[in-house]
Amino acid sequence: MGERVIPLIDERQAALPLPSPSGLELPPGHLRDARGRPLRDLRISVTDRCNFRCSYCMPKDVFGKHYSYLPHSALLSFEEITRVARAAVRHGVRKLRLTGGEPLLRKGIEQLIAQLAALRTPAGQPLDITLTTNGSLLARKAQALKDAGLQRVTVSLDGLDDATFRRMNDVDFPVAAVLAGIDAARAAGLRNIKVNMVVKRGANEDQILPMARHFRGSGVTLRFIEYMDVGTTNGWRMDEVLPSADVVRLLQDAFALVPLAASAPGETAMRWGYAGPDGRHDPALGEIGTISSVTQAFCGDCNRARLSMEGRLYLCLFASQGHDLRALLRSGADDETIEATLAAIWAQRNDRYSELRATLPPEAQPAHSSGRRVEMSYIGG
Ligand code: SF4
């Protein structure tokens, strides 16, 4: 089947106008959006390239050999990324997640991590710096990432069965190499390691129990992610979504699970602890998580913003347009102006796509009207 050409270029060009810098004299961390949500989590996509072609994110027939990636000059430099992060920290961000595409493909990413690790909150505290990777380069890079200041890592792995995994990543990449990356991350001292499995009905639900058995008691937290209608290239259909409630039921047939409290406000995952013989959570057995954007929307306390590799700030994973901070960064604007502009952008944020998806008929759904949702490979998950 030939390549599908989807005009992603247009979408990338069309940035939202920057609001005039807010006159808001806000004490650090007091910024709220139009729904009263603080800004706590900045996801930073550092490249539009990836060495996998997961069908739910970067299908090969769209992101094929003729696909035009962004030139390096279009990407934010590490200094520019750090300036945006510094401004965001001033307004309350405590967690930075590096994403992509595949972030470990960005040359010198250790230098960026070192720059971000040097940032401090207004109270002088270090930030929580993490990274989401497909694990393909982790075995080689784990120690350097840790030494640069990375504290933890999340690895995407959609199955233990090699044939299933190769089908999901569509580049014939073996499971063993990703598992070796996870081992290297642990050996390097990266803590709180998580594994994310996207569950797509008809593709890999038979991997739910093998994955749970493999990671139970390993110190690695496995999270099951509902297949999402991100972007417009993955051909998403509701009947390919396996609701998290079904996943938990399946797991409860095999293991005793107890619900756990969220570890932080705005956490996307519902946590379930493996119970010991006394029926209570046994930390040595660990936990699993479910991320249910389709069937259990969590927009109410969503405190995340996303920065694309070329400096567009998106306020929702399902947004159709972002604000162009790169132009501002390259206009010679000072840090106060960057901070004030960021505040003005966040203050007017009203996004709640997943909530609306659940309540509105398809034709009335928000991004449907604009015909485009930004691609996950462009702003990270
Ligand atoms: S749909 Fe948008 S607003 Fe809702 S939780 Fe996801 S990113 Fe946040």
Determine contact, residues 230/373, Cβ cutoff 8 Å.
yes
The contacts of residue 266 (CB under 8 Å, 6+ apart) are 37, 40, 41, 301, 302, 303, 304
Determine contact, residues 331/80, Cβ cutoff 8 Å.
no
CA distance 355 to 318: 12
CA distance 214 to 217: 8
At 368 the pLDDT is 46
Torsion angle defined by CA atoms of residues 316, 269, 237 and 363, in that order, rounded to the nearest 10 degrees: -40
Determine contact, residues 202/235, Cβ cutoff 8 Å.
no
Binding site membership of 84 for ligand 1 (Cβ less than 6 Å): no
Q: Determine how β-strand 312-314 pairs with β-strand 304-307.
A: antiparallel
Report pTM. 0.93
Q: Which residues of the chain have pLDDT under 50?
A: 1, 6-11, 368-369
At 13 the pLDDT is 54
Q: Token pair of 76, please?
A: 């934010």
Binding site membership of 302 for ligand 1 (Cβ less than 6 Å): yes
Binding site membership of 203 for ligand 1 (Cβ less than 6 Å): no
State the DSSP H helix or E strand holding residue 82, giving kind and residue range, or none if neither.
helix 78-90
Determine contact, residues 304/358, Cβ cutoff 8 Å.
no
Q: What ligand 1 atom has the least distance to the C-alpha of 352? A: 3
User: In the β-sheet with 270-274, what is the strand arrangement from edge to edge?
Assistant: 257-260, 270-274, 287-291, 221-226, 191-199, 152-156, 128-133, 95-99, 41-45, 304-307, 312-314, 323-324
CA distance 117 to 47: 19
CA-nearest of 224, 215, 227, 305 to 270 is 224
Spacing of C-alpha 11 from chain mean position: 20
Binding site membership of 291 for ligand 1 (Cβ less than 6 Å): no
For the four alpha carbons of 128, 103, 240 and 210, in that order, the dihedral sign comes to: negative
State the DSSP H helix or E strand holding residue 226, giving kind and residue range, or none if neither.
strand 221-226
The contacts of residue 2 (CB under 8 Å, 6+ apart) are 61
Binding site membership of 316 for ligand 1 (Cβ less than 6 Å): yes
Q: In order of start, what are the domains of the chain with their CATH numbers?
A: 41-379 (3.20.20.70)
At 142 the pLDDT is 98
Q: Whose CA is nearest to atom 7 of ligand 1?
A: 316
**What is the length of the chain?**
381
CA of 303 to the centre of ligand 1 (A): 9
Q: Token pair of 192, please?
A: 């709180």
At 1 the pLDDT is 46
Pocket test for ligand 1, best of 226, 304, 374 (most atoms within 8 A of CB): 304
CA distance 52 to 35: 37
CA distance 200 to 141: 30
